[in-house]
Amino acid sequence: MPGFEFWGDEERKEVNDVLETGILMRYGFDGPRKGIWKSKELETEICNTFGCKYAQLTSSGTAALTTAMAALGIGYGDEVIMPTFTFVASFEAVISVGAIPVLVDINETLTLDPLAVRAAITPKTRCIMPVHMCGSMADLEALMDICREHNLVLLEDACQSIGATYNGKKVGTIGDAGTFSFDFVKTITCGEGGVVMTNNESLYVKCDGYTDHGHDHAGVDRGADLHPFIGYNYRISELHAAVGLAQIRKLDQFLEIQRANQSVLKNILSAIPEITFREIPDGGVDSCTFLSWFLPTEEITKTVVEQLKEAGILAGNFYWYNNNWHYISKWDHLKNADFLNGQGTEITNTLKQLATKSFPASDRVMSRCISTAISLGWSESQVNEKGEKIADIVKQVLSKTMVTMG
């Protein structure tokens, strides 16, 4: 799954280019850097690879989401509709701009249920933020229809689905803006990093300044830059961009391997009638970073997870329902509004309401779901061996369950 599995001479070469100049910052120092601009080069590669007009690199995927929301004008008191299944960074970014995360149910796409989104819209709703989890995507056509109907912003958190496509377009380039994460365990890694992608020039200019203390970057003298608005330091370094530059050139190879390995694993598990798989929206093509599959009941799923653990093969098989980082049931710090700094009563009171709110539709999905990470390093025999071991455990659990029920 992650690009760090294919680390080699290409990454070392790009990093050494930067080390030889000694200029690690992406801006300024034009002479000493001797024409080496890895961040600019990577942004161009991102535009060419994913089909967007503009790309602004950031220090992380979280910073990319925060930057995109600020540039889109999302702020104090605005509501952002997002899914109950995501990474904590998604709601952290919403809160960071003073907006309010409104969590709604998912369906078997493992992403936003458009019906739940419609039901959550209020006069304060400003943005719908689908999170394309585990390699696939939300029903973007349905969500775009809702956005057009209610004049809302569509911001794609595509950090986990680099390379997936929807109706022939790369996810992350379809909404008003989209983001990727390039952290250590993403499909493309910079070590740490992220990007905002958009086809809107005005939005891009805002992102460009916002990530660098509001600098307008309009001249050749950084010290003479004007500051049209307040910004922050969300810059990526040249070292991180250099790593990403080598990685993005391997993306097609990564995706080809992932899809082949996922196909083998899926074929093995498909032989078990009780196993079903996540729904891919019509027109969608999975990037295959994971194979997400469902068992008939929560009880059976938990037993399979326990058996995988006892067999020493739980690693790489994620039961998100009991995961501290990715599902609302474990986000006590969000529900308790546990901030280090003071917040307005509107946001703290809204968050605390989550402590008593239930999401039965999401629970029914997530309690039965296991996601198996797809490694780039597996040989065909290793994929088959892993698949057969998982299948054997599932069959054993199902067999015992049928006996008990009988």
State the DSSP H helix or E strand holding residue 195, giving kind and residue range, or none if neither: strand 194-198
By residue count, the chain amounts to 406
Residue at token pair 């995988």: 308
Q: Is 186 a catalytic residue?
A: yes
Distance of alpha carbon 143 from alpha carbon 29, whole angstroms: 44
Phi-psi region of 176 (alpha: psi -120 to 50; beta: other; left: phi over 0): alpha
Determine the Cα–Cα distance for residues 114 and 142; give it in Å rounded to an integer: 6
CA distances to 73, 304, 314, 381 from 261, in Å: 42, 22, 18, 10
In degrees, rounded to 5, the angle at the alpha carbon of residue 270 between the alpha carbons of residues 267 and 271 is 100
Location of structure tokens 């629970």: 363
| 221-223-227-230 Cα dihedral, nearest 10 degrees | 130
Q: What is the CB neighbour count within 10 angstroms for residue 221?
A: 9
- Cα(126)–Cα(121) distance, integer angstroms: 9
Q: Which residues are CB-contacts of 382 (< 8 A; sequence separation ≥ 6)?
A: none
Distance CA 347, CA 337 (A): 8
Which of 38, 186, 206, 386 is labelled catalytic? 186
Question: Which residues carry out catalysis?
Answer: 186
